[in-house]
C-alpha cells in the first residue's frame, strides 16, 4: 500500500484492481509517485483495472498532465490493465475534465464513470 497525505493506492484483490484515492491537491513527485506505485502493482499482479476516486480530486498541473500522457500512459497501455474507472460525483467540478479523459482513454481502455466504489462491488 502507498500512503501519503495526498493519496492512497491499494490493491483490491476482489476487483483485480488498483485503487487510487486522492485526498488533496499535489504536484510533481507527490502526484507522480502514487501513480508509479499503482503501475507497479498492476505489473506485479497482472491487474486488469485501474480505479481512481476523484471525490476530493483536483485539476492537474500542466507539467504533471504532460508527464501523465508521455510517461505513464504508454506504460499503462502496455500493461495488463484493460479498464479504467473513475469514481466521480454527478455534480463534481471535475466532470468536464474527467469526461475529456474518458474520451481519450477510450482509445485504449474500457472506461466507466461511477458514483461510488460500492457500485463496483455489488
Domain that holds residue 52: 2-121
Tally of structural domains, the chain: 1
- Residue 81: the pLDDT is 98
Q: What is the mean pLDDT of residues 51-56?
A: 91
Q: Is the pLDDT of residue 122 over 70?
A: no
Residue with more model confidence, 90 or 1: 1
What is the pLDDT of the chain when averaged over all its residues? Answer: 92
Exposure b/e, 83-118, CB count within 10 A at least 16 = b:
bbbbbbeeebebeebbeebbeebeeebebebeeebe
Q: Is the pTM of this model over 0.85?
A: yes
* Cell, residue 84: 479504467
Q: What is the mean pLDDT of residues 74-97?
A: 92
For residue 77, the domain's CATH number is 3.30.750.24
Q: Is the pLDDT of residue 119 over 80?
A: no
Amino acid at each position: 500500500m502507498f500512503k501519503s497525505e495526498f493519496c492512497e493506492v491499494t490493491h483490491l484483490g476482489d476487483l483485480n484492481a488498483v485503487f487510487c484515492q486522492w485526498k488533496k491537491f499535489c504536484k510533481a513527485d507527490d502526484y507522480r509517485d502514487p501513480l508509479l506505485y499503482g503501475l507497479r502493482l498492476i505489473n506485479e499482479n497482472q491487474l486488469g483495472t485501474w480505479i481512481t476516486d476523484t471525490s476530493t480530486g483536483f485539476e492537474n498541473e500542466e507539467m504533471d498532465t504532460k508527464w501523465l500522457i508521455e510517461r505513464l500512459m504508454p506504460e499503462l497501455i502496455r500493461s495488463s490493465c484493460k479498464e479504467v474507472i473513475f469514481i466521480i460525483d454527478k455534480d463534481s467540478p471535475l466532470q468536464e475534465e474527467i469526461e475529456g479523459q474518458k474520451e481519450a482513454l477510450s482509445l485504449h481502455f474500457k472506461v466507466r464513470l461511477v458514483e461510488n466504489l460500492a457500485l463496483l462491488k455489488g
